[in-house]
Structure 1
Amino acid sequence: MNQKETFTETKTLEKNNVTSEKIYCANCVHCKLVPSPAGIQDQFYLRVRCAAGKWKKKLGEEKIHKYFTVTRRCIDSCDAYEPMGETEEFIKQLKKDLPSKDETYDRFTHETYQF
């Protein structure tokens, strides 16, 4: 790949708010979707966690993020990163598919409730 092609690829990624230099946690096999109790019986929130244990709070406790914010989770390097596919296409589609705010889900009917 020559310098012009690299520049064009970087510009395309930037235009779609995806930079090839950063590692998007959502595109890693260790990024897991988990239910979190909503405080209302039989309802839950969707959260994401790093199964490799890379998301930690200052005191060492595991950090869990809201599902709709998963595309914001990116880092410069990670020794546990295992990509699941083409980053640009995956993140672009994920941004379209994610809810725009936190939602609760019903355990039995899978209905969605927005707050």
Structure 2
Amino acid sequence: MHYLLLIYRNEAELGHMTADDRKKMTGEYGAYTQSIIQSGHFKAGDGLQPTTTATTVRVRDGKILTTDGPFAETREQLAGYYLVDAKDLDTALGLAARIPGARTGSVEVRPVMVYDN
């Protein structure tokens, strides 16, 4: 089954990190990504640009409305994701717990819907 691991963190914390801290974090993510590629769990994943680059789209009464930024004001913002193939929720939770961002932010684990054709 596929699970989406949504990584949330406080964007403001990134601005306060030293270059060495950012380099260390990038290395940790690289190592984690390689480990789930090698284990066969990895399907896709990427980091996201800051919320200042986001645009929210809504359609109301047939009209397209756009708003700069994310949909909701929150302490933590969606920073990236991994799409993984895991045999069950417990395996997906174990993979999520190993994501470096889980130590300072949170990781939401959601099963991907399977549509019958």
TM (norm. structure 2) is: 0.26
Between Structure 1 and Structure 2, the one with more helix by share is 2
Between Structure 1 and Structure 2, the one with more strand by share is 2
TM (norm. structure 1) is: 0.26
